[in-house]
Amino acid sequence: MEFDNFHTPDFHIRSPKDWNRQAFITFIARGEDEFPRNVVITQEDLPAAATVEEYARQQRKELENLAGFNLVEEGVLPVQGRDVPYVIYSWRPANGKPIKQFQTYFVASTKAWTITGTALTSEFDSLLPDFRSIAGSFNSERNV
């Protein structure tokens, strides 16, 4: 098996060359007992160059498989002088309370990023401005 080296400022590791690489970073609110509101940033390598619209359509199809998926809103968010697609949706995790999520997408050639803000449905609307602000601050070293 052939390997690639994966480097971040914090660690290095080898990974099989023919495996897809995804990276996740999660920010979780402190001191929350019931369900901690959070933001997850996912980065993945795409098999071929794609537009942000193509990537957003692909992600939307996957979201429709969530239990009780309900699309609330679709639109574009201005980020760094560009309009990037977003969706707001709700669903119910197995054995969990209903949650609502704000998800936006960024693509640069064969790299894609998804930023997802999550909260209990009952708390989501008050947090949406924060989720939009967090996503709006995204900046990559690549030309997104």
Q: 103-139: per-residue pLDDT in tens?
A: 999 998 888 999 999 999 999 999 999 999 999 999 8
Exposure string of 86-122, with b = 16+ CB inside 10 Å and e = fewer, is bbbbbbeeeeeeebbbbbbbbbbeebbbbbbbbbbbe
Q: pTM for the whole thing?
A: 0.86
- Could you give all domains of the chain from N- to C-terminal order, each with its CATH number? 20-136 (3.40.1000.10)
Q: 17-54: per-residue pLDDT in tens?
A: 888 777 888 989 887 667 889 999 999 988 888 999 99
